[in-house]
Chains A and B, each alone.
Chain A
Amino acid sequence: QSVLSQPPSASGSPGQRVTISCSGSSSNVGSNTVSWYQQLPGTAPKLLIYNNDLRPSGVSARFSGSKSGASASLAISGLQSDDEADYYCAAWDDRLKMAFGGGTKLTVL
C-alpha cells in the first residue's frame, strides 16, 4: 500500500489535456515539496517536475505541476503517443522517509 494515492490509470486522445492526481497527508505532501516522474517501459524514472511546479531543463512545457494542501496534480497538455508511460509522484515524509505514489498508467487512445 503506497503512502501517496494516485489513480491506477488515466487516458486521453492525442492533443487532449490529462491530469493525474496525487493525494497525501499533512506529514508528506502537505508539508513538503512534490516531484513527478515519468517511467517508460524498461527504463529508469525520469524527473518531470520538482518543487511542486518546476521543470528541469529539457522537459517539455507540456508538463506542469501544481499543489494545494495535501494534494498535487500533474497536467499533460497536447497529449502525444510517446507520453504513454507510468507516472509517479513523490514527497519526503516528516517521519524521515520518502513516499511514492502507486503510479498511474497513462494510455494515449
Chain B
Amino acid sequence: QVQLVESGGGVVQPGRSLRLSCVASGFTFSSYAMHWVRQAPGKGLEWVAYISFDGTRKYYADSVRGRLTISRDDSKNTVHLQVTTLKHEDTAVYYCARDLGWEPPDYWGQGTLVTVSS
C-alpha cells in the first residue's frame, strides 16, 4: 500500500534553516510528481511546493518563493523540502503528498510539525 513518511520537523529558531524529508513506499516513486502542503495550527491547508516526476519542473507558492527548495532522490524514494530564513509564520504541520497526474494529490503522509520559536 502507498505510504509516505515525513521527518525532519522540530523546534527551530527564527532565521535558521531546516530540511524536511518524505520517504515513499508502495508505488513506483520515480513515476510520480510530489507536493508539499502545510497547515498552520488551527488553519486551513496551504500548498507550498511541487516537483515533477523527473525533477525538471518545480513550482512554489508566492508566499514562500525564494525561501523553499524542493528536490527529490529517486534512488532513495525520497522528496525533500529545504526551508531557509524561517519565520514564525512558517510554524505548521508539513505534509508531503503524491500527485495524481496534474490533479490535486491523492495520498498524503501523516505530517511533520515545524515550530519556529526562539
CA distance A2 to B61 in the complex (A): 12
Report if B29 contacts A (CB, 8 A): no
- Name B's interface SS: loop
Known A2-B44, A98-B35, A100-B47; judge A56-B106 contact (CB<8 A). yes
Pick from B8-16, B19-27, B83-91, B107-115 the stretch touching chain A: B107-115
The one of A2, A33, A44, A51 that contacts B109, using a Cβ cutoff of 8 Å: A44
Known A96-B59, A100-B45, A100-B47; judge A44-B110 contact (CB<8 A). yes
Across-interface contacts of A92 in B (CB, < 8 A): 102-104
Report if A23 contacts B (CB, 8 A): no
Cβ contact within 8 Å between A88 and B45: yes
Across-interface contacts of A102 in B (CB, < 8 A): 44
Report if A90 contacts B (CB, 8 A): yes
Cβ contact within 8 Å between A88 and B61: no
A31 to chain B, nearest CB (A): 12
Interface centre among B100, B103, B108 (most CB of A within 10 A): B103
Cβ contact within 8 Å between B103 and A97: no
Cβ contact within 8 Å between B100 and A97: no
Residues of B59-78 whose CB lies within 8 A of A: 59-62
Report the nearest B residue to A6, measured CB to CB. B44
Report the nearest B residue to A99, measured CB to CB. B47
CA distance A35 to B47 in the complex (A): 14
Known A44-B109, A88-B45, A102-B44; judge A97-B104 contact (CB<8 A). no
Cβ contact within 8 Å between B47 and A97: yes
Which A residues have a C-beta under 8 Å from some C-beta of B?
Answer: 2, 32-35, 37, 39, 43-47, 50-51, 56, 86, 88, 90-92, 96-103
Given contacts A35-B104, A47-B107, A56-B106, 20 further A-B contacts (CB under 8 A): A2-B44, A32-B102, A32-B103, A35-B100, A44-B108, A44-B109, A44-B111, A45-B45, A45-B108, A50-B106, A88-B44, A88-B45, A96-B59, A97-B47, A97-B62, A98-B47, A100-B37, A102-B44, A103-B44, A103-B45
